[in-house]
Amino acid sequence: MGQPATMAARAQRNDAPWLTLKMREAMEAWLFLSPTLAGFLIFFVAPLVAVLGYSLTEWNLLSQQATFVGLANYDDALMRNADFWHVARNSAVFALGLVPLNMALALLLALALSGRFRGVVVFRTIFFAPVVTSAAAWAIVWKFQLQGEAGFINQVLAGIGITGPNWLREPNWAMAAVIVTRVIKMVGLNMILYIAALQAIPRDYDAAARLEGASGLQIFRMITWPLLGPTTLVIMVITTIGSFKVFDHIYLMTGGGPENGTLVLAFYIYQQGFEFFNVGYASALAMIMFVIVMALTVVQLALRRKDT
Amino acid sequence: MSSLTLSGIKKRFGKVDVIRGVDLEVEDGEFVVFVGPSGCGKSTLLRMIAGLEDITSGELRIGERVMNEVQPARRGVAMVFQSYALYPHLTVRDNMGFGLKVRGVKPEERASRIAAAAAILKLDALLERFPRELSGGQRQRVAIGRAIVGEPDVFLFDEPLSNLDAELRVHMRSEIAALHQRLGNTMIYVTHDQIEAMTLADKIVVLRDGIVEQVGTPHELYRRPRNLFVAQFIGSPKMNVVPLADVELPPGLVAPANAVSIGMRPEHLAITNPGSGIVSGRVAIAEYTGASSLLHVELDSGAICLVVHQGDEPQAGKRIDLRIDTGNLHSFGADGTACGPPTGHPRS
Ligand SMILES: Nc1ncnc2c1ncn2[C@@H]1O[C@H](COP(=O)(O)OP(=O)(O)OP(=O)(O)O)[C@@H](O)[C@H]1O
Ligand SMILES: [Mg+2]
């Protein structure tokens, strides 16, 4: 019994004796990191570099000819082509509508559903189910519900004496409609994150505060909300990023219309690249979007750091 | 400052009766300790007094007022939690001032009350720190400080020392005792550590399974436990209980008629000359603890009897006889209730 064990120990000790413990540990660390690192390089860094390269060319997919044009595509997007600013504005409106609405609703739902009571799991499931529903199915169903007169929503409104607009045919209403339907689809995810964060707050805080005379509102404002800070930040960042990337939802509900009223950045990039085959221009747009999202994330993180 | 009266207090969680009828008087300025094994309902009872759990039935009075339906904050109580429950995002100062702030106390008065409490608890230097920057003992003091600034009538402590190491526990214990002397408030203190209970309490309430087993001063509980449970819960190491048949009472002494077992505290037993002891047996293990040794003596019946022994410990395996002052004998009936010490006049 004893002998094999000692042999194993000796074998290990003699194995590559020139390596110091520190080098061994470093090698091990890199080995463990390598799968993720490989994925990161292949699926993130490489495409990013490629897109950066494309964005400096005039490349039409049809003619299969790429010519180097320097920053012309960027100049085009930012200085000459009014489309870009229109689309960027749409994206901003979409994000400014979606992010606060989504977060507020998620927090309210989480506050209501973080406790333990009969049927709470059923409610959580109901609000989370849309998250795992196919985006295409979701968009198409809502497209029908929001039809002019025949749509379910307007029939309900008619039932209480309100004449609803033709939601998806008027630019402002269409924007509101895609925002709200997107919020309903995705709010469950943030709700779950908030529920997890709420449940992580020790119950004694609440008891102690109540004993000291704090009202429910004061407890929320002075204790719960500050303690939710880190979660709120994460939710804000991922929701903002998500809102800039929204494509399928809008593609299927409005096709970017009416009057390009819901044409957002991600959709515009798709149009330029795969409908008009302006790969160089689309790549420049993609880089711009990358920088915008990156900048927003950094700003959000910095604001948060200053708070604490 | 206030007295408390609990009458017929019960608590039911769903289908489980956790507190099954507690009657208790706490006098103004008294230090009362609830003690009992884990899960016996100590915390629940304390939280009911605080108003954090509602009272299923019975009546709670603080002072003259019935408090069953009164909001926690209006009961004039402050509580120190086992977890301390310090708000992690607030400094020590803000933690201590939280209750005053939400009650709308003016900033100047807030500051002076915090300063006063900080002085009592030696927290002055720590006021700007966050809880995460404090040691366990310091956090404990902040939690107590937060209770003090509210100037409550009654302090409630739920196992406040159980997260501290042994040495600090002893130190904080004496600080709490000093605090009680200084403030003179009514204090109710929960612990499962009977040493804490003995050292701090004016009055100990022994709980088991939601029922009060006995209420009394530390002396009363130690000297005259009302039943086997209390007898074995109070005192360390715990009382030996041996069948009456294993015991040879001194001539002239008779156990009460209904007694079936005899209780003897390890610290009351001493080695004596062979043939003259109340029990005899073989030393199984001798544990040296410094000031004394703890002998595990195996009686002839097989029962183990613990003895606190001063001086050189006898060798393991040696046969010894043990004696005890008759006044230190306890006897218990078949149902575990104490039935008084053996009586008579020992011939000696
Ligand atoms: N909210 C609750 N719902 C259901 N049962 C509960 C609840 N709170 C406590 N209990 C039960 O009530 C009993 C008493 O609990 P309590 O916390 O008062 O015990 P304790 O004496 O303080 O124990 P410990 O020394 O471990 O703190 C336990 O059996 C516990 O499982
Ligand atoms: Mg407890």
State the Cα–Cα distance between residues B308 and A7, nearest whole angstrom: 51
> Residue type for A48, please?
L
Residues of B in Cβ contact (< 8 Å) with A208: 79, 81, 85, 146
Higher pLDDT, B240 or A62: B240
Q: Average pLDDT for residues A279-307, to the nearest whole number?
A: 88
Q: Is it true that the peptide bond before A4 is cis, omega within 30 degrees of 0?
A: no
Helix (H) or strand (E) holding A215: none
Q: Which domains does chain A have, with CATH numbers?
A: 81-307 (1.10.3720.10)
Q: Do A207 and B99 touch (CB under 8 A)?
A: no
For chain A, give the mean pLDDT.
88
Q: Is residue B242 within 8 Å of residue B299, measured between CB atoms? A: yes
Which amino acid is located at A29 in the chain? A
What is the nearest CA distance from A229 to chain B, expressed in angstroms? 10
Q: Is the Cβ pair B72, A210 closer than 8 Å? A: yes
Q: What confidence score (pLDDT) does residue B271 get? A: 92
Q: Above 80 in pLDDT, residue A61?
A: no
A vs B, Cβ pairs < 8 A, gives 60
Contact present, B147 and A208 (Cβ < 8 Å): no
pLDDT band at A7 (very low <50, low <70, confident <90, very high): low
User: Which of B47, B88, B98 is nearest residue A212 as measured by Cβ atoms?
Assistant: B98
Is B80 a pocket residue for ligand 1 (Cβ < 6 Å)? Answer: no
Complex prediction ipTM: 0.84
Average pLDDT for consecutive 10-residue bins of chain B (348 residues)?
90 93 94 94 94 94 92 93 93 95 93 92 92 92 92 93 86 90 93 90 95 95 94 92 89 86 94 88 90 91 91 87 92 90 68
On the question of pLDDT at A4 being above 60, the answer is no
Helix-, strand-, coil-residue percentages of chain A, each rounded to 5 = 75, 5, 20
Question: What SS3 state is found at A166?
Answer: coil
Give residue A80's pLDDT: 86
Q: Does residue A11 register a pLDDT over 70?
A: no
Is the pLDDT at A1 greater than 50? The verdict is no
Ligand 1 site-directed mutation target among B33, B40, B193, most atoms within 8 Å of CB? B40
Q: Which of A17-31, A215-229, A289-303 has the highest mean pLDDT?
A: A215-229
Alpha-carbon distance B80 to B87, whole Å?
Answer: 13
Distance (Å, rounded) from C-alpha A211 to C-alpha B71? Answer: 8
β-strand partners of B156: B79, B188
Read off the pLDDT of residues A85-118 as tens digits, 9 standing for 90 and up: 999 999 999 999 999 999 999 999 999 999 888 8
Going by pLDDT thresholds of 50, 70 and 90, the confidence category of residue A8 is low
Q: Please identify which residue in the block is written with the tokens 């809102």.
A: A243
φ, ψ of residue B281 to 5 degrees: the values are -175, -165
pLDDT at A9 exceeding the cut of 70: no
CB distance A214–B102 less than 8 Å?
A: yes
Predicted confidence band of residue A2 (pLDDT cuts 50, 70, 90): very low
**B177: which 2 tokens?**
């005792």
Type and span of the H or E element at A153:
helix A152-159
